[in-house]
Chain A
Amino acid sequence: MNSIAGRHWLSALVLLCLVALGLGQAWAQDAGASEAASSDQGPALLSALAESSFRDKEAAIDAIAESGDERARRWLESFAEGKLARVKDSGAIVVVLENRGRNWPVADALTLEPAGEISRRELDRVSINNSLRGYLDSTLALIDLRVDDPAQRLAAARDLLGEVEAEAVDSLSELAAAESDPEVAATLEQAIAIARVEQGDVAAVEALSGSLNGQARAALMQASRSDDVALAEAAQAALAESEQALKLNRAAETLYFGLSLGSVLVLAAIGLAITFGVMGVINMAHGELIMLGAYTTWAMQQLLPGQPGLALLLAIPAGFLVAALVGVAIERGVIQFLKGRPLETLLATFGVSLILQQLVRTLISPLNRTVVTPEWMSGSLVINEALSLTLNRLYVLGFAILVFAALMLVMRRTRLGLEVRAVTQNRAMARSMGIRATRVDILTFALGSGVAGLAGVALSQLTNVGPNLGQNYIIDSFMVVVFGGVGNLWGTLVAGLSLGVINQVLEPWAGAVLAKILVLVFIILFIQKRPRGLFPQKGRAAEG
């Protein structure tokens, strides 16, 4: 449900940008024209600021803010910091760059260029007091709200949330009404509503109902404790509403992380599901094949420095090939001699995994290698204030689904898939029908190992690439395969995703380690109930 809402947001955003672009251009032309006409306004505006009494300075500030002068922001900022000064002799206004020592470096206020150093005694500071500072802050925000770039306006509007002074509400309302960008307008409305609620306006509570913003909720929280019964009740209702929305978003986030973890598990386990299903052997070196895939990514990035994205894309076929070749070597070198002895195969492949791990440690490094995340994969997709999805996880999720779909195609639509399924169901019968089981074994092993390599490529984007990478996934992978039911790809998918989600759901109240233990215990208990997994094979093949 949330992802749909997210899509709406996205399309609205795109539309907005287009509209804002058009409006912005028109507005920019306007601003340019007014600036050209009032290029001489600067000295007058500044001297008004410098010379008037505290009471009149507000008017001077307003004049500067409304001038539309692009230097206005800098002037007011300097003024707020107390760094605006007047040279006693010439009466020119300067910006003090650094007020330390005897001679202060200054910049000309009109050109904003550095203008050498002036003795401290030559300068008269433009004075300011605290009430003016408060007034300046909101005025500066107003200036930011008038810039062309909608993104900048949005940032300014966000800064205003919870910071709006009572006096600024009216001018902000005018701005909000004139605002072309709906998102900026909405944010402004919210900022105004927060200010109104703080003043005890019951009507404004409605606008904050269901808001995910922390400032809005803080304002509501305060209002709910107010003496005004109507206000307190309305605020409480609104707070409950936003609590609900927040819970929903948190659930969506947990689901996303769970699916992400699950997709990693599926990637790691699916190759194992194939080899285990077809040959009935447990390849304990499967984790190390994943590790090799991750190291292939690293090697590709070393070969193509400065192009991490291209290297990552090339690593997909390369990782598949490397892992597949090593897998075939394991099958031919070890497993073929241990046909029909699954437990011995388990031990022998465990030995292979030790050797591969140590090989990487000796040849490359016992330390973790860094694999760069390309720019298009970093960052996150912001859905709303409480929910943003990290892009690399999104890509890995998509990649897992792609790999799964491709494997399904291979298994359902190709000759190899047919033969693999035949051998899985009944090796003796398949052989008597003319299927060369040894060839199927080799190809299956290559396929399963290659998928492990793909998992490694994906994992290199999420975790550290080190010699122990595979070890961390091997037990989890077996759990997924056993949970899902051997020789069943759908089972692996469902098992992997659900284990990922279960893990993430348990994590907040149990902690990461305990969640993992609970999942392991859950699987151990589950296997007792259904020894053949979620989706057991039917018929005589299941007797194995």
Chain B
Amino acid sequence: MPSSRLWLARPFGERSTLIFLAVLGATMALVVAANLLLAPEHPLHVSTYTVTLLGKYLCYALLAVAVDLVWGYLGILSLGHGAFFALGGYAMGMYLMRQIGDRGVYGDPLLPDFMVFLDWDSLPWYWLGFDMAGFAFVMVLLAPGLLALVFGFLAFRSRVTGVYLSIITQALTFALMLAFFRNEMGFGGNNGLTDFKELLGFDLSADATRLGLFIASGVALALGFLLCRAIVVSKLGRVCVAVRDAESRTRFLGYRVERYQQFVFVVSAMLAGVAGALYVPQVGIINPSEFSPLFSIEVVVWVALGGRATLYGAVIGALAVNYAKSVFTGVMPEAWLFALGALFVLVTVLLPQGIAGLLSRSRQQGSDDDSDTQPDTPTDTLDATPREATP
């Protein structure tokens, strides 16, 4: 394997990566400029509210990239990535809770409000250390990473794949949701963690902090994208695609399939955790609904809409669906679930390659394109027995 510096730098040789980074950078620069330089009366002014909203979308986009990494390149349809996202968010939320200090409603210097309300007299052991930013940020990576490690160790070693794996990931996030709803868990139960004051000493309600979080989200997305790209174009990534397309054959060739799956799954979970951690200070709350199976499966449809196994497609899908969601829920909230449901059906039936598929098809029109030139295109052979397409 090449040295790590070269390994991470390799995606810069790709045109698509450069385009993606350029577009992302330019858009963010424009948003920041429009927020800071233009007067609030100016028609092109971007309000801080919108900046935070966009920051939220960027976090979702990072989550979608994480899902695309395992679904697009490893063939693991995770219906539980919301759990990793939420765990990262809770780790951040716990840090933010500890930062409140004695400014809570009950003014307890040590205990968060909900613990005072529940008559707890001391901090549970798993809350210790979260007053230190460094520790909390490590936990943002470690908590989802460890869960993915344990879960992946159990699942991949016994070769649970395909639909079974999807259902188990869904059960995982469902179980976690039920657990976090319990007050006894010590994570605020139903209400979750909220009422945050400051992050690293910066006031969370200040415009500058919000802008900073937006930029941080964008940088995290760019780095996450680069990391995923680096994995995908490396030899490791090639093996992953082989596992996706023919798991048994790859195993017969001598590859330890479960190790590849394990590694990529943990990396993906950590990325999701980072996305959650950046998401929480921007929305100002984390509660168990982030664990809901519906959210996790929604993420998958962002990826499906954008286009599987492209990474940039996941970003497009996440932004598009969430923008549509904001518009719909504002204009006619009851129609949103119809639209989302229809999106699920239409994308899978009519648009299996997603928006990215449309883009590349129009770009390559005329040129004699051989499917071999597109190794990223997923061919869905997740079950080993071939099935006929038509009777």
Contact = CB atoms under 8 A, between A and B. Distances in A.
A514 B176 CA distance: 10
A436 B77 CA distance: 31
Contacts of A436: 391
A359 B341 CA distance: 11
Contact of A437 (B162, B179, B391): B391
A483 to B, nearest CB: 11
Contacts, number: 155
A347 B380 CA distance: 14
A348 B179 CA distance: 29
B172 A348 contact: no
B334 interface: yes
Contact of A482 (B164, B342, B349): B164
A338 interface: yes
Interface residues on B, range: 35 or more
B349 A337 contact: yes
B384 A348 contact: no
B291 to A, nearest CB: 12
B14 to A, nearest CB: 27
Given A523-B171, A528-B157, 10 more contacts: A334-B345, A339-B388, A340-B387, A344-B348, A347-B344, A347-B347, A351-B343, A358-B337, A517-B175, A525-B154
B235 interface: no
Contact of B166 (A343, A358, A362): A343
A341 B301 CA distance: 15
B391 to A, nearest CB: 4
Interface of A: 280, 282, 334, 337-348, 350-355, 357-359, 361-362, 427-428, 431, 436-438, 475, 478-479, 482, 513-514, 516-517, 520-521, 523-525, 527-529, 531, 543-544
B382 interface: yes
Given A531-B158, A543-B384, A342 B163 contact: yes
Contacts of B61: none
Given A338-B348, A344-B348, A527-B160, A438 B391 contact: yes
28 contacts: A334-B345, A340-B383, A340-B386, A340-B388, A342-B163, A342-B383, A343-B380, A343-B382, A344-B304, A345-B348, A348-B349, A350-B297, A350-B344, A351-B301, A354-B337, A354-B338, A357-B337, A358-B337, A362-B334, A438-B391, A475-B170, A478-B170, A482-B168, A513-B178, A513-B181, A514-B179, A520-B178, A524-B172
Interface in B328-370: 334, 337-338, 340-345, 347-349, 352
Given A334-B349, A343-B162, A346-B166, A355 B337 contact: yes
A355 B344 CA distance: 10
Given A342-B162, A346-B77, A475-B170, A351 B342 contact: yes
A359 B335 CA distance: 10
B164 A527 contact: yes
Contacts of B171: 475, 478-479, 520, 523-524
Contacts of A362: 334
Contact of B158 (A351, A428, A528): A528
A339 B387 contact: yes
A527 to B, nearest CB: 6
A345 to B, nearest CB: 8
Nearest to B167: A478
A438 B391 CA distance: 6
B225 to A, nearest CB: 24
What are the 3 A-B residue pairs with the smallest beta carbon separation, nearest first?
A351-B344, A354-B341, A355-B341
A174 to B, nearest CB: 58
Nearest to B352: A344
Contacts of B251: none
